[in-house]
Structure 1
Amino acid sequence: MQTVLISAALLTNSAFAGECHVDFDAHVKIANEQVVVALQDNKQLTLSANEAWLDGKKLSLSKEQQTLMDEYYSRVFNIAPQAADIALDAVDLATKGVSMAFSTLLGEDDQVVQDITGEFSVLRTAVQSQFYAEDGSVRFDSKSMQDGDFIDKEFSQRFEKKVESLVEKSMGSIMITIGKQMMFGGDMDAFEKKMDNFGKDIERQMEAQSDQLEARADQLCYSLQILDDYETQISSSIPELAKLDALRVSYRSDGQK
């Protein structure tokens, strides 16, 4: 169960070590190589490589202003796959942990193990569709995020209930395994030791990967902070974009909010 809880945490904003808080104050969308941002005055900013439009009208920018816009576009466009890769790797890590846990007790071919792996596969597909179109191009829509979560809460709740159901089902399989050990003269001491230690063994094996994920998530938070700073610079430098304020990011390295 500890592995299940860890996996659930990794798939939400707590992947940022519980210290990075990202809020979208306006709609941000990435699709077809364009970045679309809603401004606070209900106007729409559309960006592509080296060009910017405000409500469909191309902006006339100085060299310095264009440099700011290009950097903003590039950072928005690159942060989406960075976030996607972290989320997908978190799912893979969770899948590995849960599979290892129950395979140790029940065997790799047990139906419960296969069912749990299948549910994580469904989750991985859902997360991937948040950030990548069918043709592999980057896409993102801030409306799909709630409270910093990579996946919508309704799906998350359904997934959590399904996994809980499968875990409960696995208890029956574990009891059957124990019964077989008792009835057919198995080494109960060895089996009991296996049950006592499998959680610690898995945690030890996965700890390094979890630390790497956390470090990458912290780097992503730093990238988001820089993007937030660029919004401030743009709104100060370009009068037409004075209402650009789509993103708010805060980070505490000491763990205090």
Structure 2
Amino acid sequence: MTYFHNSLIASALTVSLASSAAYAYESCNVDLSAGFTINASSIEFVEAQGENNDKQRSLYKIVEGKKLFVDNQNIELSAAQQVLVQKYDEKIRHLVPQVRNVAIEGVDLAVDGVNLAFNGLLGKGNNVAADLTKELTLIREEVVAKLSIENGISVGIDGFESEELLGKDFDKRIETAVEKAVLNSMGSILIAMGQQMMTTGDNEESFETRMENFGENIEHEMTARSAVIEKKAEAICLSIAMVDEIEEQLKAEIKPLANTNVFTVTQGHGEENQTTTK
């Protein structure tokens, strides 16, 4: 019964890809030359140093949205410069709930896909969907906790894929959870499939067709839902591009920041990619 693996499982796993929309989409590439930390009172940009990059040097820090420290030295700002620093601080902070919401919606989409797939196959209240929903809910709670300014956020040069944050394998964790659940419950799944064949009077060929249609319906439903998340991910790209633009203004207006460049955003597709001039 290889069709089960090729259609239904594939459809269930498709939903996990939506979680990666939080930090990976074709129209946007964000490069960071430094990491940064955000808490309720400050944003600090840090550079890794040392033989094993195990030490950090503060590049610059914004305190209370208006005070600027470069290399730990307080920088006197004009009224116009202070407005620019405050705007920069606000735009960076606004990124956090945007990223959190997309990541959470990605996990929620995975939960919906899992329940559509396994409830449709095994019936509502089955242990497979229940166990998997529980595991995905734990991942969701982790996202909420890690993307909380109140708790403090640390972002490495890998951006929101940083090990300090969601991790490079965030979407892979969801996919692995689904695969594990399928493998652990294969016996129950095969029994349920056999019972359905006996109940409906299907032969193997007609049952295979029905299951393939079932898988295609799930994939169609999940694709439609994931399109909404992808739009929100694109909005994140635009927000980061705006942060990049303000950083360029800071470099032009505040001399101690002239040679510091944290954000580089490339937008577009393929050869049409455009990078902000640095």
Q: Above 0.5 in TM-score?
A: yes
Distance 1:53 1:71 in 2: 16
Q: Is residue 202 of structure 2 the alignment partner of residue 188 of structure 1? A: yes
Match of 1:29 in 2: 37
Counterpart residue identity of residue 188, structure 1? D
Aligned residue for 1:35, secondary structure, equals strand
Distance 1:46 1:16 in 2: 27
The Cα of 1:84 is off from its aligned counterpart by: 0.7
TM-aligned CA distance change 1:223 to 1:119, over 3 Å = same
Contact preservation (8 Å) 1:100, 1:202:
yes
Match of 1:85 in 2: 101
Q: CA RMSD in A?
A: 3.0
Counterpart residue identity of residue 69, structure 2? W
TM-aligned CA distance change 1:199 to 1:14, over 3 Å = farther
The Cα of 1:98 is off from its aligned counterpart by: 1.6
Question: TM-score if structure 1 supplies the norm length?
Answer: 0.84
Counterpart residue identity of residue 215, structure 2? G
TM-aligned CA distance change 1:5 to 1:229, over 3 Å = farther
Match of 1:161 in 2: 176
Aligned residue for 1:243, secondary structure, equals coil
The Cα of 1:92 is off from its aligned counterpart by: 0.5
Counterpart residue identity of residue 253, structure 2? S
Match of 2:154 in 1: 141
Distance 2:31 2:219 in 1: 32
Distance 1:96 1:220 in 2: 24
Which consecutive unaligned segments of at least 5 residues does structure 1 have? none
Q: Is residue 16 of structure 2 the alignment partner of residue 8 of structure 1? A: yes
Q: Is residue 229 of structure 2 the alignment partner of residue 217 of structure 1? A: no
Match of 1:108 in 2: 124
When the two structures are aligned, how many residues end up with a matched partner? Answer: 253
Q: Percent identity?
A: 28
Question: TM-score if structure 2 supplies the norm length?
Answer: 0.78
Contact preservation (8 Å) 1:16, 1:221:
no
Distance 1:15 1:5 in 2: 18
Distance 2:47 2:134 in 1: 41
Which consecutive unaligned segments of at least 5 residues does structure 2 have? 1-8, 50-56, 274-278
Q: Could you tell me which of 229, 252, 260 is aligned with 1:236? A: 252
